[in-house]
Structure formats: C-alpha cells, structure tokens
Amino acid sequence: MTPTLRIRDLDKRFGGGRTLFGFGKKKPSVHAVQSVSLDVDRGETLGIVGESGCGKSTLARMLVGLLPPTDGSIEIEGTDYADQAGKDPAAFGKLIQYVFQDPASSLNPRKTIRQILEAPLKLLHAMPADKCAARIDEILDAVNLHAEFLDRYPHEFSGGQAQRIAIARALAAAPASWCSTSRSRHSTYRCRRRC
C-alpha cells in the first residue's frame, strides 16, 4: 500500500547568494531542514517535536506547498509534488491542508464562519449551495461547534473555538492529509474519529 504522504531527503536552505552587487564572498546559507525522510499512512498521526527554530514550521510549509524545497521529494498519494511547491498552493488544496499555529490570525476577520467554510467547498470542489450547507453541518458536528456560530465573525470566538474553526476549514477541503504546526488538543482527536 502506498503511504498517503512520503518524504525523501527533503532539504531547505535560505540565503547563500552573492552580495547586493555581486562582489565579495558568497553569503553563507542557513540549512533550515536537512535530509528529512518519513512515511505517513492513511489514518496515521505523526508528531514532529523539537526546540524552537529547528525547522518544524519550515517543514510544514514545504509539505503544504507554501515553500519550495531546495532538494528532495514530497509524494502525496503516490505523486511527487515537490516541483510544484511554492508555485500554486491551491493545487495542494485537495491533497493536504494546513492548520496554522495561530488559527485566529489565519481566519479572515471580514468573513463569517459560513463564508470561511464555504470557500474550500466551492473553490476546490465546485459544490452547489444545497450540498455545501449539508457538508458544513457534518463538519461542524465533527469539530463540536454549533450551527448558530455560522453567521458570526472570527473575533467573536475563544482560542479553542477558533482552532476548531480552522480545523473545520481544513476538513472542508476533504484532503488526503492535513498538517498542523501546534498541538491540536481534544478537538483534533474528535474530528479525526468522525471524519
């Protein structure tokens, strides 16, 4: 069986170019992620633990296509997407979703929760309005949020509720995998069991 996510020899370096006018010594590069290889099977949860600044968030950003890797491969469902990383994050939308470290700041303050949850359903799946409403109800139930929250704005929620809304948005895309840069507490466990 092919793993849902397979990473081989993934590297990320920042910098290392010449000076402003191309004279002088080459600037040293920062090796943020070095030779990471791992497999994650469907239904499996993997935690990556390390001290601050060790490259956990950089690894997560490469996995979801926000940063291109310097070297290595990222296979999702058996297809290598490393070359597409950083070019079209929407291409990764159906494959892998990202729950940001600070979910409240990742939610658009001008949109209601309904609009936030409808966006991946409409944009990635071209889902009609009647099916969107039914799917949103399923997702809200999975993350233990009430339907009455749909017409509210992100600033009206506690940190835990905002995190569950961010998880719900990731689940709305129906990805093969999803990635979070912080521990996701009880709501993640509930949502994994139900979705």
Is 0.85 topped by the overall pTM? no
For residue 108, what pLDDT is reported?
93
Order the strands of the 29-40 sheet from edge to edge.
29-40, 5-15, 71-76, 79-80
The 3 state secondary structure assigned to 147-181 is HHHHHCCHHHCCHHHHHHHHHHHHHHCCCCEEEEC
Closest listed residue to residue 6, CA positions, set 81, 67, 112? 81
pLDDT digits (tens, 9 = 90+) for 127-178: 998 899 999 999 999 999 999 999 999 999 998 899 999 999 999 988 878 7
| Rounded to 5°, angle at Cα 180 from 179 and 183 | 140
Question: What percent of the chain is modeled with pLDDT above 90?
Answer: 39
pLDDT digits (tens, 9 = 90+) for 24-76: 677 788 889 999 999 998 888 888 888 888 898 899 888 888 888 999 999 88
Alpha helices by DSSP H, the chain: 56-63, 103-106, 113-125, 129-142, 159-172, 185-194
Domains and CATH numbers, the chain: 1-87 (3.40.50.300), 93-195 (3.40.50.300)
User: What is the amino acid identity at position 63?
Assistant: L
